[in-house]
Amino acid sequence: MPRMICRIRHRAGEPLGLAIYPAATLMTLPREVREMIYEPLLIDSSPITVYSEPPYAPDDDEKARIHSRSSKFPHLALSLFRVNRIIAIESASLFYHHNTFKFGGRHQPTLSYINVHPKNTDYWDALYSFLYCIGPRNRARLRYIEADISRPLPVTKDTDGTVSSLVTDSWMRKVHARDQHKRIYPPVHDGPYSSLVFDDVSPAIDAVFRILGHHGFKLQLGLIMEFGIWPRLYSEEYLSGWSEEVPDHVEAMRKRFTRLPNREGERVEVLWKGGGNKSRFIWSSARLVKDGWEIVGVQDIFGPPTELDSRINWRTSVSFTLRRKGISSL
């Protein structure tokens, strides 16, 4: 039974009386007012890191920092999800609609394109797990996701379709998921790799775009590349970086699974974000445009974020955003 409130009622020309009525509760307020209450409790101005795995073996202090409660987001009142069904739906709708969800954030920038850690830090599998767990209602509310994506792992494809790669510092080979997709591009790698080596295409890419689908709000998926590494990185003397194998596959899956029912574009927009030496980027930008990339924005970096490597010369570095243009063959 709701709590009752008793107030003295006084009207001109009438004797004093008592008015008894139920006390106001959160559920008696209009939904617009309730959402104004939820906003400061559930919306973060910074991206919310859902999953992050360091691309190196952390020491004990680093493990404690990564897994400590303070590294989560205690300032958000996620306990609202457990109050009752109505408040859970309303608060979850606001939480997933207005926040940016981050996967990764542990890229280690470097000045040298050779000094790349061999551990692959793509987060396609973690992203799919998150999308699967939050359910279709919350997936439809998502608008902003960011995920780290590393330079693709070089793999070989045998005549029977088996895809494998050499294990670092070992003679053994790791077998990957069977590749069902036709290879379009030759490999683009530093060093004397075999002509049979290709950029690995994760099968989780298909799963991510399939589960996102075409129902829901427009969603921006930002793929954060390692510092100094981007597709078809050109300089005066060599060609390195990625091929367009992974970007074209991402674009194909985006068009295939997220195209709106009215055929007016796709629900998901993919932006490729990165950074690197200014002169190297300027040198390769013309070829990027020629090879089907749109340069959305370029900005000088004037100071290093605290988590980035102090060896980088920020006065000559830029951050940039790319969009893969549609290709008729996709």
User: How many Cα atoms sit within 13 Å of 17 on the Cβ side?
Assistant: 8
Is 182 inside a domain boundary? Answer: yes
Residue 327: what pLDDT? 59
Residue keyed to tokens 């980027």: 281
Is 72 inside a domain boundary? Answer: no
d(CA 312, CA 276): 9
Residue 221: what pLDDT? 97
Is 247 inside a domain boundary? Answer: yes
Determine the structural domain holding residue 297 and report its residue range: 107-324
Give Cβ neighbours of residue 122 (< 8 Å, ≥ 6 apart): 147, 148, 149, 150, 202
Q: Tell me the pLDDT band of 254, cut-offs 50, 70 and 90.
A: very high
Is 251 inside a domain boundary? Answer: yes
Is 309 inside a domain boundary? Answer: yes
Residue 114: what pLDDT? 36
d(CA 249, CA 256): 10
Residue 228: what pLDDT? 83
Q: Tell me the pLDDT band of 147, cut-offs 50, 70 and 90.
A: very high
d(CA 265, CA 85): 35
Q: Structural domain tally of the chain?
A: 1
Is 172 inside a domain boundary? Answer: yes
**How is residue 7 written in tokens?**
């107030």
Backbone angles phi, psi at 250, to 5 degrees: -60, -45
d(CA 63, CA 85): 36
Q: Is 115 helix (H, G, I), strand (E, B) or coil?
A: coil
Of 75 and 147, the structure prediction assigns the larger pLDDT to 147
Gyration radius of the chain's alpha carbons: 26
Residue 32: what pLDDT? 82
pLDDT digits (tens, 9 = 90+) for 310-323: 556 656 888 999 99
Question: How high does pLDDT run on average in the chain?
Answer: 78
Q: Tell me the pLDDT band of 70, cut-offs 50, 70 and 90.
A: very low
Of 270 and 286, the structure prediction assigns the larger pLDDT to 270
Q: Can you give the pTM of this predicted structure?
A: 0.79
Residue 10: what pLDDT? 74
pLDDT digits (tens, 9 = 90+) for 167-215: 877 889 888 877 777 776 766 655 554 456 788 888 899 999 999 999 9
* Mean local confidence (pLDDT), 50-63: 59
Q: Tell me the pLDDT band of 163, cut-offs 50, 70 and 90.
A: confident
Q: Tell me the pLDDT band of 259, cut-offs 50, 70 and 90.
A: very high
Is 112 inside a domain boundary? Answer: yes
pLDDT digits (tens, 9 = 90+) for 2-31: 677 677 777 777 777 777 766 667 777 777
**How is residue 257 written in tokens?**
């699974």
Displacement of CA 55 from its chain's centroid (Å): 17
Is 60 inside a domain boundary? Answer: no
Q: Tell me the pLDDT band of 113, cut-offs 50, 70 and 90.
A: very low
